[in-house]
Amino acid sequence: MMATAKDTPQPDLERRLACSDSHAAGVRDMFDRIAPTYDTLNHLLSAGIDVRWRKLAIETLATRPEGPILDSCAGTMDLTAMLAKRWPNERIVASDFAAQMLEAGKQKAPLAERIVADAMAMPFDAESFAAVICGFGMRNLSDTRRGVREARRVLKKGGIFTTLEFFRPMSAATKLFHGIYGNVVLPTVGGIISGDRSAYAYLTQSMQHFVSRPEYEALCSAEGFRVTSAKDLTFGIASLVVAEAV
């Protein structure tokens, strides 16, 4: 049974939702280090499927209220560029805690605003955005609950919060894929191209120790959202969760 806001949180779930501040600083430094090769590896390691996933994520915002859009944990701004192309007359903001990631992606969407900020404590007023989208960033926060809560704070009522993420796999087939790909292919190829094997080993661990998609849906519901859509993509490798601020 899925947890609800009234359920007592399980200790194991809370452990996976929150990590130490030193962990967060280490993750930020890691992303700054791999920023120069991040895009190349993303597309190579996913065989380009990540582009399709991002397009699907963008389309979930088509029914959002009018207003600015925030790309939270924007990284090298792939989603930001798609947002700017889809809605060229809208204010688009890219925010990430790793300055070098934003720097590496700035040419993709030169008119978008770039803000170096922590997704758990963003420098935006309450109800500033009509939509928030986060691609593969929630699992890197030191406290997932704070990240979801902050997304709700900056969203207008009725605004859309879309999360594209690698959640902890649940099915046997997806666990097998993650085990082989994540423990062998990702750190090996990532290490060769980026020169930082430990960074890509971390990315594997972040998937294995993150919450499952149902747990994340329950968390969103507990923090002021109504989940309107949730589905797995490409045999459950990635997932999309769409929620409305209530």
Please say whether the beta carbons of 94 and 77 come within 8 A: yes
Q: What is the pTM of this model?
A: 0.84
Q: What pLDDT band is residue 14 in, cutting at 50, 70 and 90? A: low
pLDDT, tens digit, for every residue of 62-108? 999 999 999 999 999 999 999 999 999 999 999 999 999 999 999 99
Superfamily of domain 11-167+212-245: Vaccinia Virus protein VP39 (3.40.50.150)
Virtual torsion, Cα 205, 198, 237, 130, nearest 10 deg: 90
Q: In angstroms, rounded to a whole number, what is the distance separating the alpha carbons of residues 46 and 135?
A: 14
Q: In angstroms, rounded to a whole number, what is the distance separating the alpha carbons of residues 214 and 165?
A: 13
The answer on pLDDT for 240 being more than 50 is yes
Instruction: Output the CA–CA distances (angstroms, integers) from residue 67 to 6, 82, 89, 114, 155, in the order listed.
Output: 33, 16, 10, 17, 10
Q: What pLDDT band is residue 197 in, cutting at 50, 70 and 90? A: confident
